[in-house]
Amino acid sequence: MPDYLDDLRLAHVLADAADAATTSRFKALDLKVETKPDMTPVSEADKAAEELIRGQLKRARPRDAILGEEYGIEGTGPRRWVIDPIDGTKNYVRGVPVWATLISLMEAGEGGYQPVVGVVSAPALSRRWWAARGHGAFTGRSLSSATRIHASRVSRLADASFAYSSLSGWEDQGRLGGFLDLTREVWRTRAYGDFWPYMMVAEGSVDMCAEPELSLWDMAATAIVVTEAGGTFTGLDGRPGPHSGNAAASNGLLHEELLGYLNQRY
């Protein structure tokens, strides 16, 4: 079984380069922002960070495919790097520090491509999280300065903290009723948004989180960090991994109840 540690080290090098590029333009008064066809923003920093990562991957892993939010898929084969250069672009362009570069390596296997390495780097928060299959999940400033993380052991909704991004997506899908019922049952709710609640699930400071509409590059890195921390990451349909177009993550003990509420439609 491969240990993926060389790939993990490379992912950290890529994240270091991306962090330098994104932080240099964060809060820049002349930052250029465009609107994509799906009406979401993209900044010059998104494009520059992805171009930088792609360039380094082509030199270091020329046989691997690359899938990124801004420039699509390039290459074929059993190994595929998945990149979100800035997860949380809306925060980034408004000067909110909750954004991160997400880098994952996925390998072809039973059930399709599965994440085997993930790095989530949030330089404006001075935080980074990572995982490799079979090696656990960690947080710290570097591989040599790291702390292993674990999902919580909270087993009752009444004691649980639930995080989400916004209400609009749940309403659009007809899931708002079940979502609101869940918020009435838990101990605490907070709308942290984007990558952050998944990392809190992995660290055990939040017990569960969910989003109704996501892309693969939003989930590949966060999925392996959650699962290597002992948590559970599925779609709202219960399918394991980042393949359902939406996500539910938990410490595992609360997952069936989480899905039960979020799949109520009325």
C-alpha–C-alpha distance, residues 207 and 1, integer Å? 31
265 pLDDT exceeds 80? no
Report pLDDT digits (tens) over 205-217: 999 999 999 999 9
Whole-number percent of the chain with pLDDT over 70: 98
Q: What is the pLDDT of residue 109?
A: 86
Please give the residue that has the higher pLDDT: either 109 or 226: 226
Q: What is the pLDDT of residue 30?
A: 76
Query: Where does the pLDDT of residue 38 fall: very low under 50, low under 70, confident under 90, or very high at 90 and above?
Result: low
Other beta carbons within 10 angstroms of residue 207's beta carbon come to 30
29 pLDDT exceeds 80? no
Report pLDDT digits (tens) over 41-86: 778 888 999 999 999 999 999 999 999 999 999 999 999 999 999 9
40 pLDDT exceeds 90? no
Q: What is the pLDDT of residue 37?
A: 66
| Section 230-242 average pLDDT | 97
Whole-number percent of the chain with pLDDT over 90: 81
Q: What is the pLDDT of residue 17?
A: 96
Mean of per-residue pLDDT scores for the chain: 94
User: Which of 26-30, 37-41, 131-135, 209-213 shows the lowest mean pLDDT across its residues?
Assistant: 37-41
Please give the residue that has the higher pLDDT: either 34 or 147: 147
Q: What is the pLDDT of residue 114?
A: 96
266 pLDDT exceeds 90? no
Report pLDDT digits (tens) over 176-226: 999 999 999 999 999 998 999 999 999 999 999 999 999 999 999 999 999
Q: What is the pLDDT of residue 25?
A: 81
Residue in 12, 106, 107 with CA at minimum distance from that of residue 60: 12
- What residue type is assigned to position 60 of the chain? A
Q: What is the pLDDT of residue 39?
A: 59
Helix/strand/coil (H/E/C) assignment for every residue in the chain:
CCCCHHHHHHHHHHHHHHHHHHHHHCCCCCCCEEECCCCCEEEHHHHHHHHHHHHHHHHHCCCCEEEECCCEEECCCCEEEEEEEEECHHHHHHCCCCCEEEEEEEEEECCEEEEEEEEEEEHHHCEEEEEECCCCEEEEEECCEEEEECCCCCCCHHHCEEECCCCHHHHHCCCHHHHHHHHHHCCEEECCCCCHHHHHHHHCCCCEEEECCCCHHHHHHHHHHHHHCCCEEECCCCCECCCCCCEEEECCCCHHHHHHHHCCCC
pTM of the model: 0.95
